Structure 1
Amino acid sequence: MTICAYATFADPDNNDNERDLALAAWREAGIEGRAERWEDPGVDWSGYDAVVVRSVWDYIDRREEFLAWARGVESVTRLLNPASILEANTDKTYLRDLGVPTVPTHWSSRDLPHWSEYVVKPAVSAGARDTVRTSDRQRARELAEALEAAGRTPMVQPYLDMVESEGETSLLYFNRRFSHAVRRNPMLAPGMSAADLPRASLRTPAPDQVELAEKVLAGITGPLLYARVDLVRLADGSPVVIELELTEPYLFLSYEPGAPASLAGALRELL
């Protein structure tokens, strides 16, 4: 039987509620899956037919260690997604190189644009960590300066009201095939908290959203077991990419009944 590792992290609060769904679907597809902590030095990764990167949600505090681990794993077995993709995708400066419309982003504390509201965050982050929304331009500049002083690249973006009305649309792909899409809760809306996330609802994406998502993925070389393309609309209605999640995205497997089996089927194909 094919044996694959499900790479996770020390998760005392059991936040990864997709693990059991995924592993059950793998078993149905003839793949034995075992959850392993990525940072566990006792794991023999060469004993697996493949290692699937999933809930490695603590990597942002130790990115270089994580990438070294990924390269090491890839030297002894198959890694999905590949280390080169993880390296590029764990620093959001990748947005500058996608070649498609993205959320307007200013990458410095200097010469900030004049926007009614700002979102300031570091280029290496996840789950809105260290992300601040403010209408004070001076405050936005100071936040960006603080990130630079800490050796981090700041991202300064306009807050888009469409996130609260239209919402973010996340399109999920397994082995580059569309699986499902969801409308995600706005993470920075008033009254929202971590307890509200990642709640969402199924959504049928519009043709222009599908076209943009597939154009993004067409520009990524190499195997992609999973990909999540997060889109928002600008005030003029045009869709833009807010994030491309290729490292450890929440896949909303419980929202679409066929999604776990689709993920397992994609894994079987890539093996």
Structure 2
Amino acid sequence: MTQIAILIPDPTDKSYIGRWPEVLERLKTTLEGAGAVVTATPWTTHVLDASALLAFDLVLPVIAWGYHRDHAQWLAACATWTAAGVKIANPASVLGWNSDKTYLGRLAQKGVPIPPTIWTQAATQADVDAAFATTGAPVLIVKPTVSAGAFRTLRLSPGEAMTEAPDGPAMIQPYLKSIETEGETSLLFFGGRFSHAVNKRPVNGDFRIQMQFGGLYTTVTPDAGATALAEQVLAAIDEPLLYARIDLARDDAGAWVLMEAELIEPDFYLDHDPANGAGFARAVRERLAA
């Protein structure tokens, strides 16, 4: 019987206790239906010693939520898993670089369109004021380069003071008005094949599309432009990905831009998948057989 481990949050981190168990159950249902035995284990248990993970045919880090709260520990874990040869997907090397959003700048250098971004080692009020002056944007988004779930993400207007400023390196971008009107669209790929897409919109007056902030999720069929950009992103990454969630939005000119390439612990929204996770199960079987 195939043994699969799913990495889950640190048991002392209560931030996600209301959500990760239901995501785990969806994944277990899909994988057990494909003939696997699924074991959940906190990622923080295996930071310095990966020996327990070597017993599994495959390790999936897809609910390793909270890694951004201790990024140094996450990078140490990725190094440990790589050195030990843990059969983990996505690869531990990908889990490392994808945890810092500066990867968006590297993808932009390869021709992937992203929102105009100012990178700073520590966002200050002066940085924000200068960004308003240089971009001409009426509203800015400021967030840490290591973050998840809108953690310490700010939407600021000119003259508005920062509160809970990002701790450490940050990114500053013009706020895309389409987030409020059209939302963000996530395209899910398993084994390099498109599976399904979900549109995520914030509640009125908010800009955060995450479920914990009341985000409204709908299954959609992406247009040709969104699909083409998602495939361009995957081609630019060019690594053996078991899964990928490509988050896109429209800029003020109406063109699709990359917001995130979620390769660590994205929710696959299997409850919005018309195939009920069949594509994911197929990709896992293929990876196990490789």
- Taking structure 2 as the reference length, the TM-score comes to 0.84
Instruction: Give 1:34's aligned residue.
Output: 39
Deviation at 1:62, TM superposition (A): 1.2
Deviation at 1:28, TM superposition (A): 1.6
Instruction: Give 2:241's aligned residue.
Output: 224
Q: Which segment is superposed worse, 66-75 or 79-88?
A: 66-75
Selected match of 1:102 from 114, 120, 127: 114
Instruction: Give 1:240's aligned residue.
Output: 257
What is the root-mean-square deviation in Å for CA atoms of aligned residues? Answer: 2.3
Selected match of 2:189 from 173, 196, 214: 173
CA deviation string 1:176-225 (max 9, x = no partner): 11000011123894397864445410111010110000000011132211
Aligned mates of 2:118, 2:60 — CA distance in 1 = 34
Aligned mates of 1:22, 1:249 — CA distance in 2 = 12
Aligned mates of 2:43, 2:97 — CA distance in 1 = 19
- Aligned counterparts, 1:1-271, within 5 A: 1-9=1-9, 10=11, 12=14, 13-16=17-20, 17-40=22-45, 44-74=52-82, 75-98=84-107, 99=110, 100-108=112-120, 109=123, 110=127, 111-112=130-131, 113=134, 114-137=136-159, 139=161, 147=166, 150=167, 152-186=168-202, 189-190=205-206, 195-197=212-214, 199-271=216-288
Q: Which segment is superposed worse, 20-29 or 115-124?
A: 20-29
Q: Which segment is superposed worse, 187-196 or 248-257?
A: 187-196
**Matched residue count:** 265
Note closer, same or farther for the CA distance 1:161–1:120 as it changes in structure 2 (3 Å cut): same
Structure 2 SS opposite 1:241: strand
Deviation at 1:131, TM superposition (A): 0.5
Q: Which segment is superposed worse, 96-105 or 257-266?
A: 257-266
Aligned mates of 2:37, 2:216 — CA distance in 1 = 29
Note closer, same or farther for the CA distance 1:22–1:30 as it changes in structure 2 (3 Å cut): same
Query: Is the CA contact 2:182–2:201 (under 8 Å) kept in the aligned structure 1?
Result: no
Deviation at 1:72, TM superposition (A): 2.0
Structure 1 SS opposite 2:172: strand
- Percent of residue pairs bearing the same amino acid type: 37
Note closer, same or farther for the CA distance 1:246–1:29 as it changes in structure 2 (3 Å cut): same
Structure 1 SS opposite 2:249: strand
Query: Is the CA contact 2:200–2:215 (under 8 Å) kept in the aligned structure 1?
Result: yes
Structure 2 gaps of 5+ residues are: none
Query: Is the CA contact 1:167–1:184 (under 8 Å) kept in the aligned structure 2?
Result: yes
CA deviation string 1:21-62 (max 9, x = no partner): 111111121221111111125971111111101111111111
Query: Is the CA contact 1:133–1:188 (under 8 Å) kept in the aligned structure 2?
Result: no
Query: Is the CA contact 1:179–1:259 (under 8 Å) kept in the aligned structure 2?
Result: no
Aligned mates of 1:188, 1:73 — CA distance in 2 = 43
Query: Is the CA contact 1:26–1:261 (under 8 Å) kept in the aligned structure 2?
Result: no
Note closer, same or farther for the CA distance 1:267–1:194 as it changes in structure 2 (3 Å cut): closer
Q: Which has the higher contact order (CA 8 A, sep 6+)?
A: 1
Query: Is the CA contact 2:190–2:279 (under 8 Å) kept in the aligned structure 1?
Result: yes
CA deviation string 1:127-182 (max 9, x = no partner): 00101111125636x87xx54xx4x1111111111111121111011111100001
Note closer, same or farther for the CA distance 1:197–1:223 as it changes in structure 2 (3 Å cut): farther
Query: Is the CA contact 2:68–2:146 (under 8 Å) kept in the aligned structure 1?
Result: yes
Structure 1 gaps of 5+ residues are: none
Aligned mates of 1:160, 1:232 — CA distance in 2 = 8
